[in-house]
Structure 1
Amino acid sequence: MLLQRSSYINILLRRCSLITCPEAVEIRRPWPWPRVIRRNCRRSTQCPTKLQRVGLGLRYSSTIAHPPNNKATAIYQQHVDDDTIHLIYNDYTEARYPFVWLRDNCQCSECHDKTSLQRLLLLETLDIDVKPIKAEIDFSHQSIIVHWSDKHRSEYSVNWLKNIRLTSSMDPIDGLVSKYWGSEMTVDKIPTFSFHDIMSDESSLYSWLASLHTYGLSIVNDLGDDDKNITRLAKRVTNPRMTCYGNDFVVKSNPEPNNLAYTGYRLPLHTDLPFYQHEPGVQILHCIRKSEYGGKSEFADGFKVAYDLQKEDPETFDTLSTVAISFIDQGLHEISKTDYALCDWKPIIRLNRKGQIQQINFNNHVRGIEMSVGTDNIKKIYRALKIFNSALYKEENLISFALQEGEAACFNNTRVLHGRSAFTVPPGCQTPRHLQGIYIDWDEIYSRMRGIADKLK
């Protein structure tokens, strides 16, 4: 309940003799803030004039003090209901905090470890029926102090409370949106960022990572021909994802390849490493030397293709989203120099618990020979695979362009499928096609974005 009239407060103050500081003189001021000024007060200038909630129908004490600075977070008013503390801030936003939640999230050293930022309070000692014996505002520190029925004392910073909304997500990542695209995403429309800006400016770094969430595809330029710049770019976010191909990998034509990417063959659209249970989230490919004889990059938004298929051919979509396909890879580990044999089973289109498309797993080169259905249904699976593959290459879905030297293509490996046209290396060529690749994971990307968002508030 807001105190909406200066005269109304005057009456309450006079009738109930509630001003505890005798030097305080109330000066009339138009709504919304009845200002109380202390003149020649022997106490601290920040001492509040406390008003018991007589006649206001509220249970615990409220406080009127010097007018809050509208540029800083401050409490305008607080009161206690049956099971919540209700705060009104100086920007007139309101928030309710249940008793049990406040007690569970006490930030004192007995309940919360300041170093690990983890909870010390045990569930077995938490009383879910806990109630405040007294709740008051400390205006000098802008905090709420609560004395609990379990004999514990808690203090909550106003700034900390103000940033919490129990009715909605606090995660800045939840505010990001996904935008699906087809062939209209020409090379001049792909979000493009400067390597130097990303490396020197946190907001540029955040914008780059946000674009990877939104579109699943971006270009970073100005990397030059230094093959270590891709590692520097990845480490600007997090440590690179280690795979059987190492921390980073060289994509060149090799006479004895352990992967078809290390040949001049055409690579059809695919996602990388589906034989891992947890595939790399984002791949970055830095073009150090381009080929003059083919090797154009190709991309398709797998989410768009899958959603179109869900509307136009629900039977095929159902097959692709329910039937698990095997993916395998074998070879010599780049770092440990030991043999590896990786295998996983998963559907081409993975859905989340809400039935929404969460991930695309599609790589014909490493698709296993075993099937998870009986022989009578094998043809049905092949038909669904071919329909999905054909949809990727529809004119309205495919984009193709030559990645320029010094540019890096960055894409969501769980959403955007990538490939390339075939290329040749003429005899005696001294500068064959050379790309440097690296992976980073979405958990680490989102973690970095949250950290930046906190700083940019």
Structure 2
Amino acid sequence: MRFSSKLNILSFSNLVHRRLIQIVFKGGSTGLFPYVWLRDCSLDPQTYAVTAAMKGRLHFMRDFDTNVHPLDVSLDKKANCLAIQWPGNVNSRYEQNWLKSRCPANENVRILRRQFYLGLECVEQWNRKQIESRKFRFLLDRFIDDDRVLHDFLCSVCVHGIAVLEGNGKNSNNSELFGKIVQRIGFLQRNHFGEIFEVFPKPNASNMAYAGAGELPYHTDFPSLSDPPQLQMLHMANRAECSGGLSMFVDGFHIAKLMAQRYPEHYKLLTSVPLEFVEEGFDEHKLMDGSDERFDYDMVARHKTIKLDDQNRVVQVQFGNVMRSWFIDIGDPSLIQKIYDALKIFTELCYAPENQLIFPLHSGDSVLWANTRLLHARGGYAVIGVPSRERRVIGCYFGWDTVKSRVRTLRDALKLAQNQHTL
């Protein structure tokens, strides 16, 4: 059935034998919409509860008729929408823009929707030259006051795996400032070091970062956990008065790509053989209410150094030589030498100057990065023996779900072009 060219839906056909409705839109594009999908996704009040506080489908899959047929299909010319009457006295209206932007199996729709996840589709790998040419530094004052800057900061973490806040030394030792930064981002992810930790040399060190001021090698945090924190943030409360203590980062996804290109056999080992990581001891830290807590732990986990998805895309890099144990779960001992060779190559690529992003964190600066993508390290520095003047870093962890949710809510509130509706 065809309609006036003033309408954005030019025609529709009810293909009963295929259980589809075919729509021709203005401009000539077409879409095929299955009956079952149209009924299930109808936003009428009998199908969906839609309020400011929640959105959710009302009918149970147990009771849903997957072989449903429409009783009537028509075009509401005034509203320029498809109108369908379903069994059970359900009346649905499908606005043309809604239909066109959600057309099942349409390649453009699929590509656009994948962007909604803020996952691999938006990732841009980097070496030193590439990351230094990109926007990943932001002013702390504007981050605190401007939601668009907050959005761009978090997007940089999604895309590049890292973003830096430049505090210009203001109130760097102020725990209230750190709290404001955290609050702008979202919920913290607690672990066996508490919610917030401080890095400075101390007795009974529970972590190599606390054990001294020496260099720390490239690693991801907590390979000893089966579900390690996905993002880490460090805030430089007080920079070392002597030189040193540089922050070092490398894109593990880029390193994995280089290994696949240059050392395919070693790459195959790191993507197929899990390594065991252990962490045993205790940590003493303060809780949010200011009380002290001691937590004893004995963590063990296995990870492939480079984790792939079902399309052989790199989705996680996880490695820490300090926590790597003696156990390698393979039946052929001759492969052990090759595994060590692969780890050596992986590490050498991390330390190649052209792959490293190295910079000082000044007092008041903060950095947020993807812990399951980037590896980080620290240059050594001198301890001067005066606690109030020593290098002190405050840190915490976040989950991707929290950060990506924040990006989406900001896009919605700011009405940005990248925004997509949930339903």
TM-score surpassing 0.5? yes
5 Å-filtered alignment, 1:196-211, equals: 196-211=141-156
> CA shift at 1:307, angstroms?
0.9
Question: Would you say 1:129 and 2:78 are equivalent positions?
Answer: no
CA distance in 2, matches of 1:387, 1:171: 33
- Counterpart residue identity of residue 401, structure 2: D
Aligned 1:31-430 pairs, distance under 5 A: 58=1, 64=4, 75-82=8-15, 83-87=19-23, 94-115=30-51, 116-138=54-76, 143-149=81-87, 152-158=90-96, 160-166=98-104, 167=106, 168-169=109-110, 170-173=113-116, 176-185=121-130, 191-222=136-167, 224=170, 225=172, 226-262=174-210, 263-291=212-240, 292-332=242-282, 334=285, 335=287, 337-374=294-331, 375-428=333-386, 430=388
CA distance in 2, matches of 1:139, 1:398: 60
Report the Cα distance in structure 1 between the residues aligned to 2:128 and 2:393, rounded to whole angstroms: 24
SS in 2 for 1:210: helix
CA gap 1:92/1:254 in 2 versus in 1, 3 angstroms: farther
5+ long unaligned stretches in structure 1: 1-57, 69-74
For 1:6-65, what per-residue CA distance to the aligned partner results, in whole angstroms no more than 9, with x for missing partners?
xxxxxxxxxxxxxxxxxxxxxxxxxxxxxxxxxxxxxxxxxxxxxxxxxxxx3xxx6559
Counterpart of 1:238, as a letter, is: G
Kept in 2, the 8 Å contact 1:190–1:219? The answer is no
Please say if residues 154 and 163 of structure 2, whose CA atoms lie closer than 8 Å, have aligned partners that are also in contact: no
| Cα 1:406–1:353 shift into 2, 3 Å | same
SS at match of 1:337: strand
Per-residue deviation, 1:376: 3.9
Give the letter for the 2:318 counterpart. N
Contact 2:9/2:80, CA 8 A, preserved across alignment? no
Tell me the amino acid that sits aligned with residue 300 of structure 2: C
Deviations 1:63-94 (A, max 9, x none): 559x56xxxxxx44341330333445567765
CA contact (8 A) 1:113 1:119 kept: yes
C-alpha contact 1:76 1:92 (8 A) present in aligned 2: no
Paired-residue identity, %? 26
With structure 1 as the length reference, what TM-score do the two structures score?
A: 0.77
Deviation for aligned residue 1:367: 1.3
SS in structure 2 of the partner of residue 130 of structure 1: coil
Instruction: Tell me the amino acid that sits aligned with residue 93 of structure 2.
Output: E
Kindly indicate whether the alpha-carbon contact (under 8 Å) linking 1:293 and 1:425 is maintained by their aligned counterparts in 2: no
1:365 aligned counterpart, secondary structure: coil
- Once the two structures are TM-superposed, the CA of residue 370 in structure 1 deviates from its matched residue by 2.1
Letter in 1 for 2:189: R
Letter in 1 for 2:313: Q
1:101 and 1:347, CA in 2 relative to 1: closer, same or farther beyond 3 A? same
Letter in 1 for 2:44: C
Distance 1:114 1:429, change over 3 A: closer
State the 1:295 CA deviation: 0.8
What one-letter code is carried by the residue in structure 2 that aligns with 1:416? L
Would the aligned equivalents of 2:188 and 2:195 in 1 still touch at CA under 8 Å? yes
Give the deviation of 1:142 after TM superposition: 5.3
Indicate the SS of the match to 1:108. coil
Shift of 1:140: 5.4
Aligned residues: 390
- CA deviations 1:250-279 (Å, max 9, x no partner) are 111213211111121210011111122222
Larger helix percent: 2
1:384 Cα deviation from its structure 2 partner: 1.8
Q: Deviations over 1:380-438 (max 9, x none)?
A: 32222222111211122223221112211221111111111111212346310011112
Question: Shift in Å at residue 317 of structure 1?
Answer: 0.8
Cα separation, 1, equivalents of 2:230 and 2:309 = 16
Is 1:436 matched with 2:394?
A: yes
CA contact (8 A) 2:44 2:90 kept: no
The answer (yes or no) to whether the contact 2:167–2:363 under 8 Å persists in 1 is: no
Of stretches 277-286 and 122-131 in structure 1, the one that deviates more from structure 2 is 122-131
- Give the partner amino acid of 1:357: V
Q: Which moved more, 1:137-146 or 1:253-262?
A: 137-146
- 1:145·1:156 contact (CA, 8 Å) conserved in 2? yes
CA contact (8 A) 2:281 2:296 kept: yes
Moved more, 142-151 or 230-239: 142-151
1:286 maps to a residue whose letter is: H
Q: Cα gap change, 1:349/1:366 in structure 2, threshold over 3 Å: closer, same or farther?
A: same
Could you tell me the TM-score, scaled by structure 2's length? 0.83
> C-alpha separation between the residues in 1 aligned to 2:93 and 2:144?
39
Tell me, in whole angstroms, the C-alpha distance in 2 between the residues paired with 1:424 and 1:209. 33
Cα offset, 1:241, TM superposition = 1.0
State the match for 2:403 in structure 1.
445
| Rounded Cα–Cα distance in structure 1 between residues aligned with 2:391 and 2:131 | 23
SS at match of 1:283: strand
In structure 2, runs of 5+ residues without a counterpart are: 288-292, 418-423
CA contact (8 A) 1:271 1:363 kept: yes
